[in-house]
Structures are given as structure tokens and as C-alpha cells.
Amino acid sequence: MRTSRRIASTLLAVALAAVLSACGGAPQSALDPAGPFAERPDDLFQLVFWIAVVVFVLVQGLIIYAVVKFRQKPGDTALPVQTHGNTKLEIFWTVIPAVILAGIAVPTVRMVFDLDAEPDNALQVDVIGHRWWFEYRYPAQPEFGIDEEFATANEMIIPAATPVRLRMTSEESGSAEGAVIHSFWVPSLAGKQDLVPGKTTTMNIEANEPGRYLGQCAEYCGLSHANMRARVVALEDAGFDDWVALQQSPADDPEPGTLAAEGKALLFETKAGGNACVSCHAIRGAEQEVDGQLLQAAGQVGPDLTHLMSRREFAGAIFDLYERGPDGEFLLDQPNEDLLAQWLAQPVEMKPMQPEAGWGMPNLGLTDEEVEAITAYLITLD
Ligand code: CUA
């Protein structure tokens, strides 16, 4: 009695867990495709799944039938008829699965090549994996309004209903040396593809509708692998054109004498460990006179911050740059200054990183006043 009750409660718990896990929606599911490069593999999956269901029901049905029909009945004492192999049956159950597998192989292999073929009129985006964030470079493509290459991080912006060709690799501070393998995976838009140091891999993505598609690094790449998220935001054509125009423009310069201007100057100051913010980060158009020399913010190690606030998340897309409304929507008039300030003060405490090895943001030992000024500047970078 007690055992059966325990079994019943376990089954109930399992059923409850299954129901609850289905409740939260599935923002990151390959079973919820949102574009052609995810729909086709999903169609194939559906086909294979239903073939497997038929096989499962048939095999299990036969087993249950045999168990019930040929079980020992009261009074049965004689040994049942003993058989040793049945050539006809064995050929039958070898040939059938072979035919099914060969049948599935044809559309599978064809699709592997189809999905990798470069689409016509595709937007090209170069994806570079770093420890632990994704960099997106948009090379010059006049047909998409891009006259000069620019870079962004974490969030890839694409036009909806347009194929996008990704060329991907992995780098550490501009070189393949010391880099590790990452994997770019936005399940509702495409399959997974590795980013391999010293090699360029390709993948196509496309979103049918405007929207925000979630993904993450899918290849273990060290300490903050789980904190290396990917976002793809598909916009209407007009919205994409505006975004491209914004990204190509230089950063706004703060009014002299403001806290933001003070923050900007601080980015060029050498801090703890002999680094300045601009040794790692680029802010196109930002320059500062230091000791009679005009310096540019042109670091190439960390994310490009030129239009930081045009993004929604930072630090590998694990923290919100804006406060959120009741439905989880970003409130674009409320920058998340506290979180940004906390990040500047204690980066390694907020996201596990190894800056001493060159992976991630070091603690520059900023004072509270410095953090406040730099935050004031950063939130002007829209
Ligand atoms: Cu990058 Cu895991």
C-alpha cells in the first residue's frame, strides 16, 4: 500500500513538472521555428518523430500482446514450444528499418546541403566569439545602406523576412591564438554552428516576422559559458535602415562641464592594472586630449560601446540595460543605471571572468564618484 502510494505521488510530481515546464512558454525552442532555416529541419523532425511513433506503438503493441496472450495460465506446467531463430522474421525486421533509415537519409542529406547554400541577396554579418560574448561585424554592403563596416555586441539586428548569411569565427583580442570554440545557437531561427579559431564557418538565418529571438553559446567555452547569450532582433525594413544609419554615426559628445563629460574623460585615464577603459573598448568619434596628445577610443578587446544604449542588454546579454515594465518589455526611457554602475565597480563579482588571463573585464578600482560619472556618460551613448 505504502509503495503504491509512493509510486503514485512520484508519477504525480513528474506529471506536474512536465505540465509546469510547458507553462512558461518556450522562447528558445527549435520546436517553435520562426524562419525558413528553422522550419525545414523542424518539418524533417516532425516526419521522423511520427515514423518513430508508429514504430513504437507497433513494437510495444506486439510485446504487450505477446505478454498477455502467452502468459502462464493456471494449470500450465509444461514447457512452452522452444524456438531458435526464424529466418523469415529476422530478414523482415532487418529490411524494414533499413528501408526507413535510407528513406529518411535522402531528405536529410539534401537538406544539409540546401541549408548551407548561400542565399541570394543575403545580408552578411560576421560573428566573432570571444570569452564570453558575441561580436557582430557588419561589413560594407551598400545595398543594405552600409557604407562602412561597424561593430556591435550581444544583439544582432537584422531586417525581417530577409536571409542573413553569417560568417563566423572565434578570436581572442584580434587573434585566433588562445581562442576557444564557441557555438552560435538561436534555436527558433536555425540550427547550431561552431565558431572555430582560425577557421570561418557559415550559417544562414532568417526571421519571418519582426521580433526578439533568444539564443546562447552552445559549446562549452570555460568559466562563463552559461553567461554567453545571443540575441537576434528582427526589425521591419524601415527600422533596420534607421538602425544602420545610427550605427554608422559617431557617438554623441557630452556637453562640456557636465558629469557625462567628466565620465568620458575618465575612460581615457589609466587605472588599476595599467589599463584605461579605452584600451579595450571602442567608442567611434570619442577623443580626448591627454598630456597634449589627442587619443581615440579605439580599443579592440571588449565590446564596441559607440551606441551601447541602442542595445537592450549588456555583459554577454545577461543584464538588462533598461528597466522592465510589467509585461517584461524594456522601458527605453529608464536606463538601468544602478546595474551599469554595479558592473563598473565589481565586474568579476557580477559575472565570473578571468581578467588576469585576458578573458573578461577587470576591476579598474574605480571610486564611487568615478563610477557615477562614467555611468552618466555611458547612458548618453544611444
Ligand atoms: Cu562561448 Cu560557450
* 240-274 residue pLDDT tens: 999 999 999 999 999 999 999 999 999 999 888 88
d(C-alpha 272, C-alpha 345), whole Å: 12
The one-letter code for the residue type at 319 is F
The pLDDT of residue 20: 55
Q: How far is it, in rounded angstroms, from Cα 233 to Cα 229? A: 13
Cβ-based neighbours of 266, under 8 Å, separated by 6 or more = 277, 366, 370, 373, 374, 377
| CA dihedral over 59, 63, 69, 70, signed as positive or negative | positive
Task: Place 78 in a pLDDT band, splitting at 50, 70 and 90.
Answer: confident
Q: What is the pLDDT of residue 271?
A: 87
Query: What pLDDT shows up at residue 261?
Result: 93
Q: What is the 3-state composition of the chain as percent helix, strand, coil, each rounded to the nearest 5?
A: 40, 25, 35
Evaluate whether 305 touches 281 at the Cβ level (below 8 Å): yes
For residue 188, the model assigns a pLDDT of 96
The helices-and-strands tally (H runs, E runs) of the chain is 9, 16
Q: How far is the CA of 302 from the centre of ligand 1 (A)?
A: 16
DSSP characters over 48-92? HHHHHHHHHHHHHHHHHHHHHHTSPPTT--SPPPP----HHHHHH
Interval 196-213: pLDDT, tens: 999 999 999 999 999 999
CB atoms within 10 A of CB 237: 13
Protein residue with least CA distance to atom 1, ligand 1? 182
What DSSP character marks residue 275?
B
DSSP tag of 273: G
Q: How much is the average pLDDT of 78-89?
A: 88
How many Å lie between the centroid of ligand 1 and the Cα of residue 207?
Answer: 23
pLDDT of residue 81: 86
Mean pLDDT of 31-41: 94
**pTM, entire model:** 0.87
One-letter amino acid at 66 equals A
Distance CA 341, CA 338 (A): 5
| Whether residue 36 has its Cβ less than 6 Å from ligand 1 | no
**225 pocket-lining for ligand 1 (C-beta < 6 Å):** yes
Give the three-state DSSP class for 349: helix
- 1 pLDDT above the threshold of 50: no
Q: Which residues pair with 101 in a beta bridge?
A: none
Q: Is the pLDDT of residue 24 over 60?
A: no
Decide whether any atom of ligand 1 lies within 6 Å of the 179 Cβ: no
Contacts of 323 (CB under 8 A, 6+ apart): 330, 331, 334, 335, 336
